[in-house]
């Protein structure tokens, strides 16, 4: 039955990490529009401030990498970049109301620690000099274990990070060698013990399935090893192979990628195992312990997602992004910075924000975004909650709002969703097809046909 559904629904559908997806952002979105939207965002919900810093540099490059990352060639680039980030903060922060509180700061990349910890601390200080935080704001950083040693851990502690993501990808040195990834420098047990006991912080471990040399049983061994470390969260990313976009990935085709069936089996075996070990699935790819606030948010259907990842109602905020390629996510718009390093520096040197493209959402698109976000996070939609969060008395009265009823009925007949007067529930069988449910509300996919 499920195989039949996989065949029927085998289409390219966006991952809907945002609505509209980033490939539909407008290239003629201007800095002026963004500045206006920043000011408007002070009166919008969620009211909390969430800051993202993108640090694109890496000391060495992994062949599979699909992030906006570049090899660091010259230490002077770091100085120029740190200064540009400060200039960007100088333009944006004065526009934000100081009555708002900081709920998240996230350093991502690339490998954010290529910027010195003293620079990282200065950026954080610029924020906390101006704004108060909520109780325990989430201060997160992505770390490559190949560059973590004892002094690095002390720096993390002094900078007061409380959520550390460690990119493991695979424990097997043969897999790491094949993808050109530096193995951990000190034992992971030491790193995780320090983060838990010396920093009282939490640890995410990232894995990728679908890399060369991986098999369902070798990936299961990774999970067996991972649970012994008792991380707070485990994140399983399907390897996204986009060699046209990321030329460095081409080399992996020669090494031999696992088949789609084998990749699916890796995920299914891992999910079953993690569940028996007490981890609970949250959203598509996160596995957390039952006392995690994400799990609590998921069971009460209050899980949110922004470009920083999944979050609870407590921590969610409008996202203001800094650095090359950073995407800001406000209630009224998205704005993405240029990916071009020189252009990024020169825009800021001339006092301008380096915005390259973006999107202003119409009232009906805001409703669609709420519905799609609720489906992707909570596998359900409650019409009353959508109306509450968008301030509408009915979603369906809003001009230009689209809902493809025929397709929803087909998904219902196929057992993917249950429909009732209060909303939509995605069934257990239907979870792998949740993106198809989302397309019923996306006018861009109005004409999609299934055999």
Residues that bind ligand SAM (CB under 6 A): 58, 64-67, 108-111, 142, 144, 167, 169, 206, 208, 237, 239-240
In the complex, what is the shortest distance from the CB of residue 56 to ligand SF4, in angstroms, rounded to a whole number?
A: 8
Query: ω into residue 373 within 30 of 0, thus cis?
Result: no
Site string for ligand SF4, 9-48 (x = CB under 6 A): ----------------------------------------
Q: Under the criterion CB under 6 A, does residue 178 sit at the interface with ligand SF4?
A: no
In the complex, what is the shortest distance from the CB of residue 85 to ligand SF4, in angstroms, rounded to a whole number?
A: 18
Binding partner of residue 148 among ligand SAM, ligand SF4, none, CB cut-off 5 to 8 Å per kind:
none
Binding partner of residue 208 among ligand SAM, ligand SF4, none, CB cut-off 5 to 8 Å per kind:
ligand SAM
Nearer to ligand SAM, 9 or 246 (CB): 246
Cβ 115 vs Cβ 147: under 8 Å? no
Q: What pairing do the DSSP bridges indicate for beta strands 333-337 and 327-329? A: antiparallel
Alpha-carbon torsion angle 165, 167, 169, 171, nearest 10: -100
In the complex, what is the shortest distance from the CB of residue 281 to ligand SAM, in angstroms, rounded to a whole number?
A: 17
Cα–Cα dist 377/20, whole Å: 16
Nearer to ligand SF4, 109 or 137 (CB): 109
Binding partner of residue 133 among ligand SAM, ligand SF4, none, CB cut-off 5 to 8 Å per kind:
none
Number of residues that bind ligand SF4 (CB under 6 A): 11
Binding partner of residue 113 among ligand SF4, ligand SAM, none, CB cut-off 5 to 8 Å per kind:
none
Q: Under the criterion CB under 6 A, does residue 184 sit at the interface with ligand SF4?
A: no
In the complex, what is the shortest distance from the CB of residue 78 to ligand SAM, in angstroms, rounded to a whole number?
A: 15
In the complex, what is the shortest distance from the CB of residue 43 to ligand SAM, in angstroms, rounded to a whole number?
A: 33
Binding partner of residue 61 among ligand SF4, ligand SAM, none, CB cut-off 5 to 8 Å per kind:
ligand SF4
In the complex, what is the shortest distance from the CB of residue 65 to ligand SF4, in angstroms, rounded to a whole number?
A: 3
What burial class does residue 176 get, using C-beta atoms within 10 Å of its C-beta: 0-12 exposed, 13-18 middle, 19+ buried? Answer: buried
Q: Work out which of 38, 65, 395, 438 binds ligand SF4, going by CB under 6 A.
A: 65
In the complex, what is the shortest distance from the CB of residue 108 to ligand SAM, in angstroms, rounded to a whole number?
A: 6
Q: Work out which of 22, 61, 91, 429 binds ligand SF4, going by CB under 6 A.
A: 61
Binding partner of residue 319 among ligand SAM, ligand SF4, none, CB cut-off 5 to 8 Å per kind:
none
Nearer to ligand SF4, 324 or 381 (CB): 324
Q: Which stretch binds ligand SF4 (CB under 6 A): 107-115, 227-235, 299-307, 369-377?
A: 107-115
Q: Work out which of 14, 20, 109, 210 binds ligand SF4, going by CB under 6 A.
A: 109
In the complex, what is the shortest distance from the CB of residue 328 to ligand SAM, in angstroms, rounded to a whole number?
A: 18
Q: Under the criterion CB under 6 A, does residue 111 sit at the interface with ligand SF4?
A: yes
Nearer to ligand SF4, 108 or 432 (CB): 108
Nearer to ligand SF4, 61 or 419 (CB): 61
Is the torsion defined by CA of 223, 225, 228, 229 positive or negative?
negative
Which residues sit at the interface with ligand SF4, rule CB under 6 A?
58, 61-62, 65, 67, 69, 109-111, 144, 167
């Amino acid at each position: 039955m499920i195989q039949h559904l996989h065949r029927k629904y085998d289409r390219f559908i966006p991952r809907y990490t945002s609505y509209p997806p980033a490939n539909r952002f407008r290239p003629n979105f201007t800095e002026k529009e963004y500045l206006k939207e920043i000011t408007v965002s002070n009166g919008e919900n969620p009211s909390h401030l969430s800051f993202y810093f993108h640090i694109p540099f890496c000391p060495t490059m992994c062949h599979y990498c699909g992030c906006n990352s570049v090899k660091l060639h010259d230490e002077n680039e770091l100085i120029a970049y740190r200064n540009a980030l400060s200039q960007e903060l100088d333009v944006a922060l004065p526009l934000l109301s100081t009555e708002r509180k900081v709920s998240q700061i996230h350093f991502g990349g690339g490998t954010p620690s290529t910027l010195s910890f003293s620079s990282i601390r200065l950026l954080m200080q610029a924020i906390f000099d101006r704004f108060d935080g909520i109780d325990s704001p989430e201060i997160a950083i992505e770390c490559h274990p190949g560059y973590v040693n004892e002094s690095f851990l002390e720096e993390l502690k002094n900078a007061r990070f409380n959520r550390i993501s460690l990119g493991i990808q695979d424990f097997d040195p043969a897999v790491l060698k094949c993808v050109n990834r530096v193995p951990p420098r000190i034992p992971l047990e030491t790193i995780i013990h320090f983060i838990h006991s010396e920093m009282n912080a939490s640890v995410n471990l990232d894995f990728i399935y679908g890399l060369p040399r991986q098999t369902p049983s070798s990936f299961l061994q990774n999970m067996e090893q991972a649970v012994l470390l008792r991380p707070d969260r485990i994140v399983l990313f399907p390897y996204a192979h986009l060699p046209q976009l990321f030329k460095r990935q081409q080399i992996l085709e020669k090494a031999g990628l696992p088949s789609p069936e084998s990749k699916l089996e890796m995920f299914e075996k891992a999910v079953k195992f993690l569940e028996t070990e007490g981890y609970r699935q949250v959203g598509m790819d996160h596995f957390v312990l039952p006392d995690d606030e994400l799990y609590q948010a998921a069971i009460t259907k209050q899980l949110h997602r922004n470009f920083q990842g999944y979050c609870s109602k407590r921590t969610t905020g409008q996202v203001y992004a800094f650095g090359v390629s950073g995407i800001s996510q406000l209630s009224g718009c998205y704005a993405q910075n240029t990916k071009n390093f020189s252009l990024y520096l020169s825009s800021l040197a001339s006092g301008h924000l380096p915005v390259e493209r973006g999107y202003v959402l119409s009232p009906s698109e805001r409703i669609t975004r709420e519905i799609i976000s609720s489906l992707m996070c909570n596998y359900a939609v409650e019409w009353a909650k959508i109306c509450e969060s968008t301030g509408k008395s009915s979603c369906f009265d809003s001009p230009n709002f689209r809902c493809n009823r025929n397709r929803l009925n087909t998904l219902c007949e196929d057992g993917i969703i249950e429909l009732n007067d209060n909303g939509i529930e995605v069934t257990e069988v239907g979870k792998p097809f949740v993106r198809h449910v989302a397309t019923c509300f996306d006018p861009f996919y109005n004409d999609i046909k299934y055999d």
